[in-house]
Amino acid sequence: MLMVLLLAYALRAYHLDYQSLWSDEGISLLRASLSLPEMLAEMPREHMPGYFVLLHGWLRLAGESDFSLRFPSLLASVLSVALIFRLGADLNKVVPAANSATAGAVAAVLLATSAFQVWYAQEARMYSWLLAMALLSTWALWRLLVRPGRQPAPWLVVYAVTTAACVYLHLYGALVPIAQTVFVAGWAIVQRDVRSLVRWAGASAVAFLLFLPWLPRALAIFGFEGWREGGNASEIPWRYLATYSVSDGMPAPWHGWLPWLYALLALAGIWFWRRVRPAAAWLLVAGVLVPMTIVFAFALRNPDYHERYAIMVTGPLLLWVAGGVRLIGPDSPTQHPGSRRGLTIAAALALTAALAAANLVAVERLYNDVALQKPDFRGAAGRIMGELHPGDVVLVDGPDPEKVFLHYYSAGAGGTGPVYAVGELEQATLDAADAELTRRLQDASRVWELLYFHNPATVQVWLATRGWATDPTYHNGIRVTLYGLNDGRAISRSLGVAFGTELTLEAAEVNTVTPQPGELLRVTTRWFTQAPAPEYKFSLRLHDAAGTIAQSVDYVPQNWLAPTNVWLVDQPASDQRGLVLRPDLPPGQYRLTLRLYDPGTGAAVETALGQDVLLAELEIG
């Protein structure tokens, strides 16, 4: 078990701060940074205060780095590995035996290597703490009722505190005492042990009293409508099983068939626990089925049923699975003395090792597959701060930048340009957005745009028509684009060049013919449409004196919002494109050209001047 715990710690500590914080973690940091009275007063009805109070104290000891912020989640997750081992050993301890901890050890290995658990061990949220407190509460309950010993008082305290903690951590934590109550009801009917029942009732009353101050606030949750669009509640059983067993990180085809193996082992495990100790079987069945039934009922009313909310189910579920593995192990209830003990030991070890190895494949993907990782606010802020010029302005078109973006974009790290949140303009009219953006950007010559968590909308249309977009960069769901704004220095060149029979390039404008390396060159092309045009891509090219392409950019007009196939016939059209000249461009004479080509075939459109049409001659100094 020491090796298993070290493995659990290593898997969770590795890359702990590799990924950027995301919005929920930013909320954790903001809330934990408040004074306790302010935090409790402003707590929204869908959140509970327990984790944020814990984090508030921790940050004052350890600081606010990403590693420090996530470290408590790591500790709780490793603690869960130890607790599931201890709970499994106690459930299986009918009489002292060398193998009584086998099921707990198997469950600990599966929990230690679970990609789902590693993910929430590396997230500054309350979910790993919820699992740890649920396991500790369940262990204390077992000690109170079935193995009270001579000194039950400490377990009374542990049960009361940890049960209250479950609910203080998350509203779904209330599923833990509800499931335990169902177990106790069945146990009381069978055992008729009044003394133990009274102990449990007393500890439960203390837990209720500990939570009572927050109860009125918690009841407001029944007016909460959730965060997500409606879903199909029928997907819950399989979706939860797949997530808790193999996680979303498991690659195909294993993600499709491995949950079936877990399901078979879980069913066999129920039978195993029933043969070993009926009370243990009843406890584990209640710990899985009661919460899942309630989650399903909630989902019929409210579609917000993410798997992490019911993370406490993973404890008894993996003990089911461990029971299934244990069933083929040594001293199984189904075996007789003299059976092939060595073979069964090897089979159990091989199966456990195979499941753990599959888990590690999913963990490796969490580490390295960008598609499974969080939005990269750190990278987005770093891109801006690395190229920030005096007078630049940053527009954040998404959720409140206070949540995460400003954690990375700060004066101390190089973020000196003003930041404006414009997410409220997503559904605004273009006139309303024009008035607001013109006011905010009146003194700016360049603007950075962060777009995330929604598709281009009003702000992006305004920027595409009023600004000169450069090539965007993408940071795992966050788009960062630099735009030049009108600097009043347009230098025009008449052209009148026909591109096929559909389009004529009437004129081109640049803001300067003597730019400096690193400068944002603003290029405008003005067109007339004679006939419906295909969807062409533009290629803006900078050639040095020898004719070599020193820099180029390929794009769709108006920053992808106005492709040529939607240009109106017998109407003018225009495109504005920015080109940030490389800082290392040697001084000298350059030619700026434009070609149009078919993106499907790469074939360039021929003109009377060739494929590349001269827009301007530049002297870069």
Cβ contacts of residue 372 below 8 Å, gap of 6+? Answer: 248, 249, 365, 366
| Residue 339 reports pLDDT greater than 60 | no
CA dihedral 486, 487, 489, 495 (to 10 degrees): -20
DSSP assignment, residue 416?
A: -
Sorted by where each begins, the domain ranges of the chain are: 2-372, 377-485, 491-620
Asked if pLDDT for residue 440 goes beyond 50, the answer is yes
In the predicted structure, residue 453 carries a pLDDT above the cut 80:
yes
- Give long-range contacts, CB 8 A cutoff, 24+ apart: 297-304: 299/231, 299/233, 299/236, 300/233, 302/224, 302/225, 302/226, 303/226, 303/228, 303/229, 303/230, 303/231, 303/233, 304/226, 304/227, 304/228
Give whole-number Cα distances, 144 to 150, 197, 218, in Å: 11, 9, 28
Q: Write phi, then psi, for 413 (nearest 5 degrees).
A: -95, -5
Residue range 399-423: mean pLDDT, rounded: 87
- Euclidean distance between CA atoms 592 and 598, whole angstroms: 20
CA distances to 172, 251, 463, 542 from 483, in Å: 45, 39, 7, 19
Q: List the one residue out of 303, 308, 312 whose CA is nearest residue 248.
A: 308
Distances (CA, A) of 454 to 182, 250, 398, 408, 546: 44, 27, 7, 21, 45
Where do we find the tokens 């598609």?
371
- Lowest-pLDDT choice from 297-306, 332-341, 390-399, 445-454: 332-341
The whole-angstrom separation of Cα 273 and Cα 506 is: 82
pLDDT digits (tens, 9 = 90+) for 189-217: 888 888 888 889 999 999 999 999 999 99
Strand order, beta sheet including 549-555: 549-555, 537-543, 588-597, 613-620
For residue 538, is it left (φ>0), alpha (ψ between -120 and 50) or beta? beta
Query: Does the pLDDT at position 97 exceed 50?
Result: no
Q: Is 446 helix (H, G, I), strand (E, B) or coil?
A: strand
- DSSP 3-state of 43: coil
DSSP of 222-244: GG---SS----GGGHHHHHHHHH
Instruction: For 485-507, write each residue's pLDDT tens digit.
Output: 998 889 999 999 999 999 999 99
pLDDT of residue 233: 82
> Which residue did the predictor score with more confidence, 589 or 326?
589
Q: What is the pLDDT of residue 98?
A: 45
Compute the distance between CA of residue 613 and CA of residue 531 in angstroms, rounded to an integer: 21
Question: How crowded is residue 570: how many other Cβ atoms within 10 Å of its Cβ?
Answer: 8
Q: Provide CB contacts within 8 A for 36, sequence distance 6+.
A: 53, 56
Q: Is the pLDDT of residue 407 over 70?
A: yes
The answer to whether residue 222 scores a pLDDT higher than 90 is no
542 neighbors 595 (Cβ within 8 angstroms): no
> What would the mean pLDDT of 397-408 be, rounded to a whole number?
93
| C-beta of residue 158 within 8 angstroms of C-beta of residue 33 | no
Average pLDDT score over the chain: 92
Closest CA to 20 of 415, 360, 383, 418: 383
Asked if 598 and 534 count as a contact pair (C-beta separation under 8 A), the reply is: yes
Nearest of 72, 67, 65, 78 to residue 50 by alpha carbon: 72
Closest CA to 404 of 67, 79, 20, 14: 20
**CATH architecture assignment, domain 491-620:** Sandwich (2.60)
Helix and strand counts by DSSP (H, E) for the chain: 21, 14
Contact 128, 77 (CB under 8 A): yes
**Are the C-beta atoms of residues 536 and 597 closer than 8 Å to each other?**
yes
Ranges of H-type helices in 302-340: 314-326
Task: Return the percentage of the chain with pLDDT > 90, whole number.
Answer: 82
Task: With H, G, I as helix, E, B as strand and everything else as coil, classify residue 491.
Answer: strand
Q: Residue 158 phi/psi, 5° resolution?
A: -60, -45
